[in-house]
Chains A and B, each alone.
Chain A
Amino acid sequence: MPFVRNQWYVAAHSEEVGDELLARTICGEPIVFYRTSAGEPVALADRCVHRRYPLSASRREGDRIVCGYHGFTYDPDGTCVAVPGQKRIPRTARVPVYPVVEQDTLVWVWIGDADKADPTRIPRAPWLGSPDYVTVRGMEPLAARYELLVDNLLDLSHETYLHAGYIGTPEVAETPITTEVDEDAGIVYVSRRMKDAECPPFYAKSTGITGRIDRWQDIEYHPPCLYLLHSRIAPTGVEPGPDGDDPAACHAEIVYAITPETETTTHDFWMVSRDFALDDEEVSKFLAESNRTVILQDVAALNLLEEVIAGEPEGYQELSINIDTGGLAARRMLKKMLEASS
């Protein structure tokens, strides 16, 4: 399956893009990222026009990149401003520049026709940069196609089996879901609201709530890239106030960015933002380590699935049940976007 083009994808956490040249392949396109002295992120095709040497393996001279092979020198807009040994610079000496936007502590890159790039279409995750939240984050490379990660995240009943002892409890798989698709906005919502449930260690140790809880998992998937999980943990029976005020509950905003690297590999960006224990470094450490452990469990499972898919004949017939209602909606939306973009 090729990639959904004419879309914004998360290319990096803001903190990953700095003075160093960062090589990252997005949707099969090798790109070099860096930040100018004015603080602006730049994304250029990671191949010198001359003999395709990776610019990411080159060096910077101020805001320019000097190719590490023969010295072709590029401005941040991709224009070649110097070639070795001669004054005339060929008119075609220019590397493609990618539209790039930094928003909510993420660096987004546009994959597709540059003139169609509309930054207002980038979905928001405002808590990532909010002083009212503390965020831990990371990125795990996945040796599996991005569709498998979409399936994985749209059906959280797998938490009970794959992530027992961390975020999985029996109630996750047992509780019915409600699924909603907004056809115009292009969003899939999946909601699972558990009453009087066991508190998994991930939340018991971080929130300090150890008794029975009400646990809400409200998913908002903005295909193709951004996945938001609004997680609410409260002592059982405690409801939010009529104005949405909810001081007795703990809220964790779990964010994933699902960015295809190649057709069978994916950048699995993850973030956990919380509105509780804001000053507690230990909680940050615990949540970062636990979430990474959980993701590595998913990575191992999905890598295995990718091997299975690679080794099987075409046309394997899957079986879907109620828990797959959201995943099926996401697949259909991706298929529609793919058809529209190719």
Chain B
Amino acid sequence: MSRRLQVVWEPGSDLLIGVCHCGAESRAADPVEIWHWLLSHPDHPSPRTEHEH
């Protein structure tokens, strides 16, 4: 299985959802942050409880 990283733009919002090939998921308000989170696999920082809007 190939290792795919996905970033979806949450419909109706400005948030990005990152989905790692390991199944972990996170949300962030900008692409630098979401790539940082994805690329830290397998040590993904724990998702933040609050989002900036």
Q: B-contacting residues of A (Cβ < 8 Å)?
A: 176-185, 320-322, 324-325, 328-329, 332
Contact = CB atoms under 8 A, between A and B. Distances in A.
Interface string B36-53: 000100000000000000
8 closest A-B pairs by CB: A176-B9, A325-B31, A183-B3, A179-B7, A184-B2, A181-B5, A180-B6, A325-B7
Contacts, number: 50
A185 B32 CA distance: 22
Contacts of B31: 320-322, 324-325, 328
Contacts of B11: 176
Residue with the highest number of chain B CB atoms closer than 10 Å, among A177, A184, A325, A328: A325
Contacts of B34: 325
Given A178-B9, A184-B3, 7 more contacts: A180-B4, A180-B6, A181-B4, A321-B31, A322-B14, A322-B30, A328-B31
Contact of B5 (A176, A180, A321, A322): A180
A320 B9 contact: no
Given A176-B11, A320-B31, A332-B35, A325 B16 contact: yes
Interface residues of B toward A: which range?
A: 10 to 19
B22 to A, nearest CB: 12
A176 B14 CA distance: 9
B7 A178 contact: yes
A180 B3 CA distance: 10
Contacts of A182: 2-4
Nearest to A329: B35
Contacts of B8: 178
A28 to B, nearest CB: 30
Contacts of B6: 178-181
Interface of B: 2-9, 11, 14, 16, 21, 30-32, 34-35, 39
A181 B31 CA distance: 13
A185 B3 CA distance: 9
22 contacts: A176-B11, A177-B9, A178-B8, A179-B6, A180-B4, A180-B5, A180-B6, A181-B4, A181-B5, A182-B3, A183-B3, A185-B2, A320-B30, A320-B32, A322-B16, A324-B31, A325-B7, A328-B31, A328-B32, A328-B35, A332-B35, A332-B39
A245 B20 CA distance: 31
Nearest to A318: B32
B45 to A, nearest CB: 18
Contacts of B32: 320, 328
Given A325-B31, A325-B34, A329-B35, A183 B7 contact: no
A58 B39 CA distance: 51
A325 B39 CA distance: 13
Residue with the highest number of chain B CB atoms closer than 10 Å, among A177, A185, A322, A324: A322
Contacts of A180: 4-7
B25 to A, nearest CB: 14
